[in-house]
Amino acid sequence: MTNASPPGRYPEIYEAARRDPEAFWLDAARAIDWAQTPTQAFAPESGPYGRWFPDGSLNACHNAVDRHADGARAEQVAIRYDSPVTGTKRSITYRALRDEVSTLAAVLAGLGVGKGDRVILYMPMVPEALCGMLACARLGAVHSVVFGGFAANELAVRIEDAAPKVILAASCGIEPNRVVAYKPLLDAAIDASRHKPESCLILQRPQGPATLVPGRDRDWAEALADAAAAGERTACVPVAATDPLYILYTSGTTGKPKGVVRDTGGYLVALAWSMPNLYGVQPGETYFCASDIGWVVGHSYIVYAPLLHGCTTVLYEGKPVGTPDAGAFWRVVAEYRVVCLFTAPTALRAIKKEDSKGARIADYDLSAFRSLFLAGERADPDSVAWAERVLNRPVVDHWWQTETGWPIAGNPMGLGLLPVKHGSTCVPMPGYRVEVLDEGGKPVPADTMGTIAIRLPLPPGCLPTLWGSDARMRSSYLATFPGYYDTSDAGVIDADGYITVLGRTDDIINVAGHRLSTGGMEAVLAGHPDVAECAVIGIRDSLKGEVPCGFVVLKAGVDRPTEAIERELVAKVRDEIGPVAAFKLALTVPRLPKTRSGKILRATMKRIADHEPWTMPATIDDATALDEIGESLKDRGIGEH
């Protein structure tokens, strides 16, 4: 444990939220402009577990943009777009952002988009994507951003579920090693989906322009220019606090991704609370979240929270390394006088690998920089200690999920940093009553491992339900432990109340901070005509945390070379899920290790691959199968450290 400042205000604030949540959250709600100020914080009787601010109404775009553009921040930079992959930089003031967003909203309204309609975005990290999200919010429409590293099939599933009226897309995304043509993926997804959008607005990028489909596709720049010339603007449409702001799909344990619904009022209140109190950031300062708008972290801390709080947000279209080097983040921090950087541990590991002494840091003036926040996967203590040493600033590991929308636990920088324990994500944020439960749902003593669950109700900002399915919300999260939300994370809480998250209890793995379902990958492998059965596990990787590894048993009589089949399997996952799955290991084995009742021993396979001690399960059907797994890994040099 390293020492920090005295206890600060955290205990008092957490206790206030626990003792009187109504008063606490109505007070926090004062950071937001309301069309109709809420008189009640929580309505326990509505929705699967209750709803926040049931009688309030507001508009998210007004809060994030207009109130600053109409006030003292009009000429302050709202967005610093910095794109080393295209060699472009652009600064957009709050006034310019309001103008662009209100014009784009007029374009969307002209395409028939109104309150409650869904709009899918399939876009890279460009300012137009943020404008698209905010324009939807302005109209009361519900946006759903799909990460660019997902393939057409994944996009199709989301189009079918969200049934968007319009899709906003860019012609291409730019990865350091290639231009990724998005438009053919979009066209294939629309072809594959039973739901068809009425129109698509396509942002043509010079690095890879696309062919537009007559009658359906419109050119973004032309549409915007026409609307601007005609002086078209749209005002902010107030919505109920409980109305959805967005849907964000995330990997579920069964095939179909879960459409996490984010309501408007509770979300904005929680984000506004987090900026000064958790991140210790003040209005007017610059905040840099190096994630992607396709993920929840990007929604919350690239777009909504910094803008709500009147900060300047950095939109970085590049990587931590290779664009051009391991000093990229420090260059951005120095150039824009960033006070807080938020990234994934995997990015830190990538930087550490290339610049182990942190020599690049000395090239830049980091005098404005106060703290580094990490999330998205377990932050390994080595990397945290390294970052503390080379940066000589607090490094805060904080824990959250797509479902929660803002951190469940962290070290509250703005309330006075608590002592740091490496490996732990520190203490719960206000409103989160976190407990560790045994299999029967009973709280376990301190320092005992179990499933981490959150006592209902969840605080504002967390998902009220899943899109179109209260029943799936209940069965996925609320049924396992009555009275609790099941996080599906395993971990411990120590005697000081510090939470340590150790891994998932379901089939989700975390690859370079990206959340993926091994079940989804198994479904793709099982669809190959030569595969009889398969199992995918996440194996330890020094850069990405975990990478998927698939084991396949071929059908009897298949006599093609296994190398060819394995190559086809790797390509199949890339085509059907996307490059983001980072699926590069398909191994053919004679059989899969199973229990006598037929359950595949994935956990034991993982221990073997990770070179951890393991014991032969008493229930194993055929013990040689585990040896064969070990042999096949050894043949490929996998898992050797």
Q: Which residues form the interface with ligand COA (CB under 6 A)?
A: 124, 148-149, 173, 175, 180, 291, 295, 297, 319-321, 343-344, 346-347, 350, 375-376, 512-514, 579-580, 582
Owner of token pair 């915007």: 224
Residue 168, SS3 per DSSP: strand
Give the Cα separation of 191 and 188 in Å (integer).
5
Minimal distance, residue 454 CB to ligand AMP, in Å = 12
Least distance between ligand COA and beta carbon 475 (Å): 27
Residue 582: contacted member of ligand AMP, ligand COA, none (CB under 5 to 8 Å, by partner type): ligand COA
Residue 156 in tokens: 């199709």
Nearer to ligand AMP, 238 or 520 (CB): 520
Is residue 600 within 8 Å of 569, Cβ to Cβ?
no
Question: Least distance from C-beta 503 to ligand AMP, angstroms?
Answer: 7
Residue 609 is inside which H or E element, if any? helix 602-609
Out of ligand COA, ligand AMP, none, what residue 165 binds, judged by CB under 5 to 8 A for its kind, is none
Q: Site for ligand AMP (CB under 6 A): which residue of 249, 399, 484, 485? A: 399
- Minimum separation from the CB atom of position 276 to ligand AMP (A): 21
- Three-state secondary structure readout of 495-532: CCCCEEEEEECCCEEEECCEEEEHHHHHHHHHCCCCEE
Sign of CA dihedral 89, 95, 98, 100: negative
- Answer with the entry of ligand AMP, ligand COA, none that 272 interacts with (C-beta below 5 to 8 A by kind): none
Which position among 510, 518, 588, 604 is part of the footprint of ligand AMP (CB under 6 A)?
Answer: 510
Name which of 296 and 493 has its Cβ closer to ligand COA: 296
Q: Which of 369, 405, 118, 167 is nearest to 270 (CA)?
A: 405
Rounded least distance, CB 499 to ligand COA, Å: 18
Residue 161 makes contact with ligand AMP by CB under 6 A: no
Selected from 489, 522, 541, 576, the binder of ligand AMP by CB under 6 A is 489
Q: Is 501 in the site for ligand AMP (CB under 6 A)?
A: yes
User: For the chain, give me the number of helices (H) and strands (E)?
Assistant: 20, 31
Q: Is 135 helix (H, G, I), strand (E, B) or coil?
A: helix
Least distance from C-beta 424 to ligand AMP, angstroms? Answer: 9
Piece in contact with ligand AMP (CB under 6 A), picked from 163-171, 399-407, 466-474, 477-485 = 399-407
Q: Which does 602 bind (CB under 5 to 8 A by kind): ligand AMP, ligand COA, none?
A: none
- Say which entry of ligand AMP, ligand COA, none residue 425 contacts (CB below 5 to 8 A, set by partner kind): ligand AMP
Q: Which stretch binds ligand AMP (CB under 6 A): 84-92, 354-362, 369-377, 552-560?
A: 369-377
Pairing of strands 484-493, 450-455: antiparallel
Q: How far is CA 563 from CA 208, 421, 489, 577, 585, in A?
A: 34, 46, 36, 21, 11
Q: Which stretch binds ligand AMP (CB under 6 A): 113-121, 312-320, 396-404, 624-632?
A: 396-404
Question: Does residue 67 belong to the site contacting ligand AMP (CB under 6 A)?
Answer: no
DSSP letters spanning 245-285: EEEEEE--SSSSPEEEEEESHHHHHHHHHHHHHTS---TTS
Identify which of residues 312 and 488 has a Cβ nearer to ligand AMP in the complex. 488
Beta bridge partners of residue 550, listed in sequence order: 536, 586
Label the pairing between strands 484-493 and 499-504. Answer: antiparallel
Which range, of 74-82, 230-238, 392-400, 534-542, touches ligand AMP by CB under 6 A? Answer: 392-400
Which of the choices ligand COA, ligand AMP, none does residue 401 contact, using the CB cut-off of 5 to 8 A by kind?
ligand AMP
Nearest CA to 250 among 425, 86, 488? 488
Q: For residue 532, what are its two tokens? A: 């009889």
Whose Cβ is closer to ligand COA: residue 263's or residue 541's? 541
Contacts of 599 (CB under 8 A, 6+ apart): none
Q: Which is nearer to ligand COA, 193 or 250 (by Cβ)? A: 250
**Which range binds ligand AMP by CB under 6 A, 281-289, 371-379, 413-421, 613-621?**
371-379
Give me the residues paired with residue 515 across strands. 510
Q: 501 - beta bridge partners?
A: 491
For ligand AMP, which stretch binds (CB under 6 A), given 49-57, 109-117, 373-381, 631-639?
373-381
Query: How many residues comprise the chain?
Result: 641
> Would you say 68 and 76 are in contact if contact means Cβ atoms under 8 Å apart?
yes
Residue 376 interacts with ligand AMP (CB under 6 A): yes or no: yes
Query: Counting contacts by CB under 6 A, is residue 411 touching ligand AMP?
Result: no
Distance from C-alpha of 530 to C-alpha of 589, rounded to nearest angstrom:
13
Query: Using CB distances below 5 to 8 A depending on partner kind, what does residue 175 bind out of ligand COA, ligand AMP, none?
Result: ligand COA
- Rounded to whole angstroms, the Cα distance separating 21 from 30 reads 14
Write down the residue that tokens 């996952």 correspond to.
Answer: 573
Q: Tokens for 347, please give them.
A: 């990015």
When CB distances are held under 5 to 8 angstroms depending on the partner's kind, the choice from ligand AMP, ligand COA, none that residue 149 binds is ligand COA
Among residues 63, 193, 401, 411, the one that binds ligand AMP under rule CB under 6 A: 401
Distance CA 466, CA 260 (A): 5
Among 343, 425, 476, 518, binds ligand AMP (CB under 6 A): 425
CA dihedral defined by 273, 244, 166, 220, rounded to 10 degrees?
-20
375 binds ligand AMP (CB under 6 A): yes
What end-to-end distance do the CA atoms of the chain give, in Å?
A: 28
Count of residues near ligand AMP by CB under 6 A: 19
Residue closer to ligand COA (CB basis): 47 or 407: 407
Cα(61)–Cα(143) distance, integer angstroms: 12
Helix spans in 322-481 (H): 328-335, 345-354, 381-391, 470-473
CB of 485 to ligand AMP, least distance (A): 12
Minimum CB–partner distance for residue 243 and ligand AMP (Å):
23
State the minimum distance, in angstroms, from the CB of residue 204 to ligand COA: 17
Residues at the contact surface with ligand AMP, assessed by CB under 6 A: 250, 296, 375-379, 397-402, 425, 489, 501, 504, 510, 515
